[in-house]
């Protein structure tokens, strides 16, 4: 006998929860690395999460974590700094704290929305189960 697990709205909502917590992970990494350098000595380049839909009713999945190449590195005149070049300028990462905060807010709200869908579907199932009390 073929068995299919029921509750696909729950799976979809869970895929949303997973995607949003992955986004929060990326944002946390961006904020933590705002002042960091890569192994090659380049400033950290901020990352973005790309998600993709897994079919019409399949929910969402993380496609990849891409680097944001559009934002320019900041150049600040800091002659005494250990990272300064010969002209006294320091190149800093393209992470902008207000931008990260904005992304964090939208990711949090999206996570909450997915949790609300999950809760609502649970309430609906309970309402159906009331019929056979």
Partner 1 sequence: MPERPDVVQALEAGLRGTALRQALIANNIANLNTPGFRRNDSLFEKVLADAVEDGTLADLHENEAWVFTPGTTPPNAQGNDVDLDMEVGELVKNSALHKTYVRLLGRMYRKLDMAIREDVR
State the minimum distance, in angstroms, from the CB of residue 116 to partner 1. Answer: 13
State the minimum distance, in angstroms, from the CB of residue 132 to partner 1. Answer: 5
Q: Cα angle vertex 133, ends 124, 6, to 5°?
A: 45
First to last CA, the chain: 29
Residue 63: CB partners within 8 Å, gap ≥ 6? Answer: 50, 51, 52
Reduced to 3 states (helix: H, G, I; strand: E, B; else coil), residue 21 is helix
For partner 1, the closer of residues 2 and 40 by Cβ is: 2
For partner 1, the closer of residues 82 and 132 by Cβ is: 132
Binding interface with partner 1 (CB under 8 A) = 1-3, 5-7, 10-11, 13-14, 17-18, 21, 118, 121-122, 125-126, 129, 132-133
């Amino acid at each position: 006998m073929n068995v299919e697990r029921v509750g696909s709205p729950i799976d979809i909502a869970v895929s949303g929860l997973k995607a949003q917590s992955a986004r929060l992970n990326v944002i946390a990494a961006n904020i933590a690395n705002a002042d960091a350098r890569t192994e090659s000595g380049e400033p950290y380049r901020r990352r973005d999460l790309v998600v993709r839909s897994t079919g019409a009713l399949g929910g969402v999945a993380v496609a990849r974590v891409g680097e944001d190449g559009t934002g320019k590195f900041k150049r600040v005149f800091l002659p005494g700094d250990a990272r300064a070049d010969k002209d006294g300028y320091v190149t800093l990462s393209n992470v902008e704290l207000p931008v990260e905060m904005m992304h964090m807010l939208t990711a949090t709200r999206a996570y909450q929305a997915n949790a609300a869908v999950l809760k609502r579907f649970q309430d609906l199932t309970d309402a159906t189960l009331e019929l056979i009390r």
